[in-house]
Amino acid sequence: MKPSLSYTYLSVVSLIIYLICQPGLQAQSGAREGAPPNVIIIFADDLGYGDLGIYGHPTIRTPNLDRMAMEGQKWTNFYVGASVCTPSRAALMTGRLPVRSGMAGQTHRVLFPDSKNGLPAEEVTIAEQLKEAGYATACIGKWHLGHKEQYLPTNNGFDYYFGIPYSNDMDNVADFAAVGGYFNFWKSPGALRVENFNVPLLRNTEIIERPADQRTITRRYAEETMGFIRDHKEEPFFVYLAHNLPHIPLFTSKEFEGTSERGLYGDVVEEIDHGVGQIIDLLKAEGLMENTIVVFTSDNGPWLPFGVDGGSAGLLREGKGTTYEGGMREPCIFYAPGMIKPAVITDLGTTMDLFSTFSKLAGVSVPDDRVMDGLDLGPVLFGQGESPRKTVYYYRNDELYAVREGDYKAHFITQGAYGGHAKQVHETPLLYNVNIDPSEQFDLAEKHPEVLAKIRKVVARHEAEMDKGVDQLKDRE
C-alpha cells in the first residue's frame, strides 16, 4: 500500500484515534467512555470474489456494501484459512490454521449432521477473547464447528446463539438418485422446497424450528443481529453474523424474489446487502457507529458446479474446494467511519488476522501457549503502515498445496474440486505472480528459480514448526 499525500491529514487523525483506542489509553467519543470498539463480523457463505458490485459484478446490486467499501477499506488480497466451510470457520474463530486444531481432516472436508466431534474445547475462540475484555457476544447464523451441545457457540465464548448449526443443504430428504444425483437435483421441479432440507434452527441450544424456514432466514438473521445490538448498546458487543446463504439451496424472502437482474443468486446477495444496510442504519441511529468496526467477508469461493446458482470468483481462477485463488481469496470490507482510513488495500490479510487485530483493540493478549497464525492488521486499518502479513498458506484437508510469499504464489500440488481435474503433484511447482496475473495463467517457474528457492525455505520453516491436531472431522455416527 502506498499512502498518497492527499491522505496525510486523514492519516494523522486516524493515528490519533487508533492510539486513543489502544488499551491503557482512554477512548474518545461515543456512548461509552474508555470502551473498546464494538465488533461485527459478517460472514457470507460461498460468496465469490466477483459477487459484489464494488468488486466488479455488473448486475448484482450491493449499494450498502459498495458504500462501506468506498468509505472504509476494500481489501483485494484477503484470504480465508480453507476453501470449504468447516475449516474456514475454524480459522476465523481460532486465529490458527485449521490443520492445527484438527478441523481440517483427511477423510472428510467438513462436518456433517452425523459427525461426532467439533472444535476442540482447548481451542481459544475470538469470542472467548472478547468476552474476557467484557464484551457481550452473539453468534447469529451458520456455525458448522460441531452441532452437539458441547461444541455449539454457547460453549465457545458466545452468550447467545441463533441459527442453523451447519450448511443449509444438509439433512436433505429428497431422493437425489431419482433425479440423477446431487448436482442434478437442483434443476428438478420442486427442488427448492424448504421441506427438502430438514435443517434445525436453534436458539442457544434448543431447536425452535425444523425444517428452518430458509425463505426468511436471511431477514431473520439481520433482525436478530439488530435485536442483540439494541439489547447490548450500553456495553461493548461482538456479533458474528454468519449467513447461511448464498450457499445452495438458494432461498429469499418474498420481498426479494425475482428482483435482481442476476436471477435468484442475485436476489439472495441483494437481500444480504439490504440487511447489512439496516444494521448500519441502526448503528448510526443509536449513536454507536463511531465506536463500531464492521467487517464483511465470505468463508470460501463460489460453488462453481452449480452454474448460475453458484457465484463468481470474477477474474480469479477456479472456486470453492480448490487452492487456486478463486477458492480462497475473498472480498473483504472494513468499515468504521472516523476510525478506519478509507483506502483500497492491496496488502495481504486473512480471516485469522481478525483474531489478533480485535484481541489487541480489546486489550486482550493472544494465547502464547500455542502457535498462532493471526497477525495484527491495525497498522493498515488505522493508516499507520503496511500489513505485517507477507505469507499465505493454502491447505487442502491437512496437506499444504500452495504458498504465497509477497507477489508470488507457488503451487506444489493442484487439484480441481467436485469433479474437476485430478490431484497433480508438481516436482517443479507452478509459480505465478498473482498481483500481475491474478488468474494464475502464466507460469514463471523457469524464469524465477530464485523465487521458488525462497518459497521452499518458507515451507521448510513452516513444516518444521507444524504440529497437526487430531482429525476432528473423521468420526461419524
Q: Which residues are catalytic?
A: 85, 144
Do the Cβ atoms of 394 and 328 come closer than 8 Å? Answer: yes
Nearest distance, CB of residue 299 and Mg ion, angstroms: 4
d(CA 377, CA 355): 10
Nearest distance, CB of residue 430 and Mg ion, angstroms: 25
- The residues that touch Mg ion, with contacts defined as CB under 5 A, are 45-46, 85, 299-300
Task: Give whichever of 40 and 92 is closer to Mg ion, judged by the CB atom.
Answer: 92
d(CA 271, CA 290): 25
Nearest distance, CB of residue 85 and Mg ion, angstroms: 4
What is the radius of gyration, based on Cα positions, of the chain? 21
Number of Cβ atoms within 10 Å of the Cβ of 461: 11
Q: DSSP class of residue 304?
A: G
**Coil, strand, or helix at residue 80?**
coil
Cell output for 22: 489502544
Task: Give whichever of 144 and 341 is closer to Mg ion, judged by the CB atom.
Answer: 144
Do the Cβ atoms of 469 and 99 come closer than 8 Å? Answer: yes
Q: Side-chain half-sphere of 346: how many Cα atoms within 13 Å?
A: 9
**Coil, strand, or helix at residue 438?**
coil
Task: Give whichever of 86 and 156 is closer to Mg ion, judged by the CB atom.
Answer: 86
The CA distances from residue 9 to 341, 344, 465, in Å, are 11, 17, 43
Neighbouring residues of 448: CB distance < 8 A, sequence distance ≥ 6: 408, 431
Give the chain's end-to-end CA distance (angstroms, integer): 49
The CA distances from residue 274 to 219, 223, 246, 256, 279, in Å, are 9, 11, 14, 10, 9
C-alpha torsion sign, points 219, 225, 228, 233: negative
Task: Give whichever of 237 and 240 is closer to Mg ion, judged by the CB atom.
Answer: 240
Which amino acid, one-letter code, is at 463?
E
Nearest distance, CB of residue 166 and Mg ion, angstroms: 11
The residue of the chain with the least Cβ separation from Mg ion equals: 85
d(CA 61, CA 138): 28
Nearest distance, CB of residue 262 and Mg ion, angstroms: 19
Task: Give whichever of 159 and 325 is closer to Mg ion, judged by the CB atom.
Answer: 325
Nearest distance, CB of residue 419 and Mg ion, angstroms: 18
The CA distances from residue 21 to 18, 34, 230, 340, 476, in Å, are 5, 8, 23, 12, 46
d(CA 312, CA 321): 14
Task: Give whichever of 275 and 302 is closer to Mg ion, judged by the CB atom.
Answer: 302
Nearest distance, CB of residue 328 and Mg ion, angstroms: 11
Nearest distance, CB of residue 257 and Mg ion, angstroms: 23
Task: Give whichever of 86 and 415 is closer to Mg ion, judged by the CB atom.
Answer: 86
d(CA 424, CA 81): 21
264-285 and 63-71 helices cross at what angle (nearest 10)?
50
Task: Give whichever of 55 and 408 is closer to Mg ion, judged by the CB atom.
Answer: 55
DSSP 120-167: -TTSPPHHHHHHHTT-EEEEEE---S--SGGGSGGGTT-SEEEE-SS-
Task: Give whichever of 73 and 83 is closer to Mg ion, judged by the CB atom.
Answer: 83
Nearest distance, CB of residue 55 and Mg ion, angstroms: 17
From the list 157, 268, 168, the residue with the least C-alpha distance to 214 is 168
